[in-house]
Amino acid sequence: MELTARRLALKALERIAGGAYADVALHQVLQQQSLPAGDRALVTELVYGSVRQQRTLDTLIEGFCGKMPPLRVQLVLRLGLYQLRYLDRIPSYAAVHSSVELVKEIGLGGFAPLVNGVLRRYTRSPSDPLEDLTAPLPLVSQLGCRYSFPDELVGAWLERFGKQECLALCDWFNRPPRLDLRLNPLRTTPEQLIADFAAAGYRLHPIPHLPQGLVLPHCGQSLSDLPGYAEGHWSVQDRAGQWVSHLLDPQPGEVVIDACAAPGGKTTHIAELMGDHGRVIACDRTPSRLRKLAQNRDRLGLRSIDIHPLDSATAEDFVEAGDRVLLDVPCSGTGTLHRHADSRWQPLKRRLAELVPLQAQLLANVSRWVKPQGVLVYATCSLDPAENELQIQQFLADHPQWHIEPPPADFPLQAAPEGWITLWPHRQDMDGFFMVRLRRGN
C-alpha cells in the first residue's frame, strides 16, 4: 500500500505543479481511493512536505544532476529526497526503492538509474550536501535554500527581526501545523468532549486561557469521522483565530456583523459566544464559500446567523446597523505559511499590490456599518506592516471619529503600546495574527 500512497502523492504534486491549490489537489487524490489511516497520513505528509520544502529539495536535485530533469522525474526525486531528509521513520532503502519503482510505473523507466543514483548519492554523503551547495550564495539565498523560502520573504524577515529570530520563524513555519479545536458550549462541555475523544483513543488537551480551545496532538483519520463532529460538538479553529472573536467580545442580544465571513470559523464562534441570542449577519461575496458557512452553521445548530451574499467593499446594506463588526480581511497569509504549504511561493509584492487597496476599501466601507459608539475589530493572518499597522494608521488619519480601544487589562494577550495585538508564531507558538479593536465616536 505504501507505493500506492506515493503514487497518489505524485498525482497531487502534478496537479499542484499545474496550478492547483495544494489542499484541493490533496483532497481530490484522497477521494480516489480508500486508504488505511497510516497511508492517508503518509500521502498528506508527502504532499505538504514536498511543497513546503520545495526550494531545498530542488537545490539538492539541481546540485546532483547539474540541471533539472523533466518535471515528473523532478517530482519523484522531490518525494524521494523528502523521505530521506525529513522522515526518520522511513528506512533509506525503502525511500530509494519506492522512488525507483514509481518512476518506472509512470512510464519513465529510462530515468530509473538517475533516480537511483541521486538518492543513493544523498544517503552516502558524509555530511549534509546542502551546506556545500549553498555556501557560495549570499546570506539571504543561503537561508532561503536551507529553510525553503523565497529570498523575498527571508530578506524581509532578516531586516525586521535579525538573523536569530528570522531562523526561528523559518523553523516554526516548517513544522507540520497543529490541530486546534473549538468546542461548541451549546452542545457539550470540555470534560465531556475530552471523555468522548478518549473513548475513541484520542487525547485532547485544553488550551490555556481559551475556554473553548482544545488541541488534538494526533489525528489518524478524516475529521468528519471523529467523535462529535456530526453532532456539532466542535469545529476546527486555530487558537490565534479564536482570540479574534474574544477581542470583539460580542454580547447576547446584540447585532454583530462579520463582513468577510466565509467559511465561517469566526462567525460561528461569535454566535457561540453570544449564546446564540441576538443576530449575527454573515457577509461574503463568494457563494460557494457561503454554502460552506451554511453547512457549518447548521451542523453546530446555530440559529442566530443570517447569511448575505454581497461585496462588503461596496455594499451599503447595513449602514449603522452593527453594535459590533468584525472585519477579517483577505490578506497575504504570511502568518499561516505552515498551514498553507504553497502560499509561500506566491510573490508577496504582487499580492500586496492587490490586497492593500482592497483592505483599505473594505475598512472604509465596513466602518460605516457600525453604530455610533460601536466597535469594529480589524484582523489579518499577516505579519506584513502594510496590511496591519500601516493600514490602521492610515484609516485613523482619514477617520478622526475613530480611535483604538486597547483590550482590557485582564485580557490574556499583551497589546503593543499603540493598542493593537500582534501574534508572532516563533514567540507565542501559534499562527501569526494582527488584531485591533476600534471604537467609533458619535
CATH number at 415 reads 3.40.50.150
Q: Do residues 259 and 337 both lie within one domain? A: yes
* Half-sphere exposure in the Cβ direction for 121 (13 Å, CA): 14
Residues 6 and 66 in one domain: yes
* Cα–Cα distance measured from residue 77 to residue 108, given in angstroms and rounded to the nearest whole number: 13
Report the number of distinct structural domains present in the chain.
4
Whether residue 426 sits in one domain with residue 322: yes
In this structure, the answer to whether residues 259 and 225 fall within a common structural domain is: no
Question: Which of 191, 207, 236 is the endpoint of a domain?
Answer: 236
Cβ atoms of residues 73 and 35 within 8 Å: no
- pLDDT (tens, 9 = 90+) of the chain, 442 residues, equals 567 899 999 999 999 999 999 999 999 999 888 888 888 889 999 999 999 999 999 999 999 999 999 999 999 999 999 999 999 989 999 999 999 999 999 999 999 999 999 999 999 999 999 999 999 999 999 999 999 999 999 999 999 999 999 999 999 999 988 899 999 999 999 999 999 999 999 999 999 999 999 999 877 677 888 999 999 999 999 999 999 999 999 999 999 999 999 899 999 999 999 999 999 999 999 888 899 999 999 999 999 999 999 999 999 999 999 999 999 999 999 999 999 989 999 999 999 999 999 999 999 999 999 999 999 999 999 999 999 999 999 999 999 999 999 999 999 999 999 999 999 999 999 999 999 999 999 7
Say if residue 207 is in the same domain as residue 298.
no
pTM of structure: 0.93
Give the bridge partners for 438, in sequence order: 376, 404
Range of the domain at 163: 140-174
Q: Which of 127, 163, 161 is nearest to 143 (CA)?
A: 163
Q: Are residues 283 and 184 in the same domain?
A: no
The confidence score (pLDDT) of residue 115 equals 97
Co-location of 99 and 201 in the same domain: no
* 370 shares its domain with 285: yes
Give the three-class secondary structure for 103: helix
Residues 298 and 311 in one domain: yes
- Which residues are the active-site residues? 381
Domain shared by 185 and 167, yes or no:
no
The set of residues, in sequence order, having a beta carbon less than 8 Å from that of 420 and lying 6+ positions away, is 388, 389, 392, 404, 434, 435, 436
